[in-house]
Structure 1
Amino acid sequence: MHELSITQSVVDEVLSRAGSRRVHAVRLQVGALTAVVPASLEFCFDLVAAGTVVEGARLEIDVTPARAACRACGVSFDLPDPVLLCACGSADVSVLAGRELKIVSMEVG
């Protein structure tokens, strides 16, 4: 489960920014193509945050849908699954969105 190491990295970064201030919420942006399971992140978050100023914080996850553009026909389209294939049959596509994995914000107090 790579979500555990990802969550550990998120909490480490939040701790480095929060200092001694209590963290009330952390918002992440996770792309649909990252192969990260949001429910697993949520499960790991409570485990990793235990005993820190992040303990008890809300984890808010925004999933970014996958989107691509076809270089062959010029059409932009949503990707319903990780198969990078345009309706025209071309696999020559450029991913526009869906690979994000970032901390968007944190609420401290």
Structure 2
Amino acid sequence: MHEMSVAEGIRDVIEDEARRHQYRCVREIALEVGQLANVDTRALRFALDVALRGSLANGSVVTIHEPPGHAWCMRCGDTVELRRRGDGCPACGSYQLAVTDGDQMRIVGMVVD
């Protein structure tokens, strides 16, 4: 389950920022995990619950936004929405797609004290 190592990485970034800016507590964390990021957000939530225990973000509210994926189709030239890697172009059926968006994962905000 690589979501645990992802959660630990998120915890480390949050704690580094908290130390750098002398925050006492992180109350809320906003994440963006694209639908093509190959991350199970339910597993990530569970992993964060475990990884954040004992940290400055223990008990914080975690919000995860899951933007859809987009890809450019080499056959028809359209930019199309994708829900999963491995899907074909919804316009022409081609699998020659270059992902352009939706594979990102980042911390987009925190509410701190």
The two structures have a TM-score, normalised by structure 2, of 0.87
CA drift at 1:91 = 2.7
Pairing 1:31–2:34 present: yes
Identity among equivalent pairs (%) = 33
Alignment of 1:7-86 (within 5 A): 7-19=7-19, 20-86=23-89
Letter in 2 for 1:74: G
The CA distance in 2 between the partners of 1:47 and 1:13, in whole Å, is: 16
Structure 2: gaps (5+ residues)? none
> Does the 8 Å contact 1:64/1:100 carry over to 2?
no
Secondary structure of the 1:6 match is helix
**Selected match of 2:101 from 76, 97, 102:** 97
Aligned-residue Cα RMSD (Å) equals 1.4
* Moved >6 Å (runs of 4+): none
